[in-house]
């Protein structure tokens, strides 16, 4: 693949990374959120502070971690604190500007399910659960979400409320006494979505190159709202693509026990 061609996943990761600011303190989820956060750190936001649930603060991994317990996170962190301190002092103390999460299921108001698919007592699939995501969703200044689009993942009604987004929409968070912004951004492999300031429903504000409205609707379980002024997501730059591919190559080599040069 050339430096000008890119996959939908690469576009998603890079578009998500661009949303982060150099001054952010970001609570990072494993998987796609971790990739986006580290691409931001390696490109336009070198001073961003990345925090993982295991207590690592200011971590700068050279490869993407397999889990929050990956030694790479502790080895490259400025400091590591206890989990109670992480949640009580840093997270609940209002010191984290952005929480970056993924989702197994999500609805139009940014409510997330990572617990079960189907009935809770007799589920079709039992998922890993919330971990720290419910606290992240309620205590971070705002929430960014990234996931690949499908009708299975983006549903009209989630099967279980793991992490509270905007509930029923509107001022539902405020009525529950939650003072943080909640989900403000969602980046998929097809589009960039923003939360409507009044209804709090996710609205498509930008289509990735080559993507149509029909393609977005076909992979979403609710009737999609599109912004009146719909943009096209800027294509990845050569620097962004090279940085992402180099990171993925290093990660593949590290996790397979090979050498970096073998993981092109």
Note if 201 is an active site residue: no
Per DSSP (E only), the strands in 88-243 are 98-101, 105-106, 112-113, 116-118, 123-126, 142-146, 183-187, 191-195, 202-207, 225-232
3-state secondary structure labels for all residues of 181-195? CCEEEEECCCEEEEE
* Catalytic residue, candidates 10, 53, 72, 240: 53
- Can you tell me whether residue 51 is helix, strand or coil? strand
Residues 221, 105 contacting (CB under 8 angstroms): no
Output the CA torsion 201→202→204→208 (10° steps).
-170
| Residues designated as active site | 53
């Amino acid at each position: 693949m050339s430096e000008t061609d890119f996959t939908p996943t690469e576009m998603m990761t890079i578009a998500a990374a661009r949303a982060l600011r150099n001054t952010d303190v970001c609570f990072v989820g494993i998987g796609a959120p971790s990739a986006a956060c580290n691409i931001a750190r390696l490109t336009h936001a070198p001073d961003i502070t990345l925090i993982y649930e295991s207590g690592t603060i200011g971590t700068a991994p050279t490869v993407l971690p397999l889990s929050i317990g990956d030694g790479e996170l502790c080895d490259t962190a400025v400091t590591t604190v206890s989990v109670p301190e992480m949640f009580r002092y840093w997270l609940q103390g209002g010191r984290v500007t952005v929480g970056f999460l993924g989702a197994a299921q999500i609805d139009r108001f940014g409510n997330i399910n990572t617990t079960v698919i189907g009935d809770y007592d007799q589920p079709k699939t039992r998922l890993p659960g919330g971990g720290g995501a419910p606290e992240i969703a309620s205590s971070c200044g705002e929430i960014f979400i990234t996931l690949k689009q499908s009708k299975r993942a983006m549903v009209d009604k989630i099967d279980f409320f793991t992490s509270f987004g905007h509930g029923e929409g509107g001022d539902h968070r405020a009525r529950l006494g939650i003072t943080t912004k909640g989900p403000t951004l969602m980046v998929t492999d097809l589009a960039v979505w923003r939360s409507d300031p009044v209804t709090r429903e996710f609205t498509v504000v930008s289509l990735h190159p080559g993507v149509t409205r029909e393609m977005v609707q076909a992979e979403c379980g609710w009737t999609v709202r599109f912004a009146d002024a719909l943009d096209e997501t800027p294509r990845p730059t050569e620097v962004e693509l090279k940085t992402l591919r180099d990171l993925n190559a290093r990660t593949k080599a590290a996790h397979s026990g090979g050498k970096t040069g073998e993981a092109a």
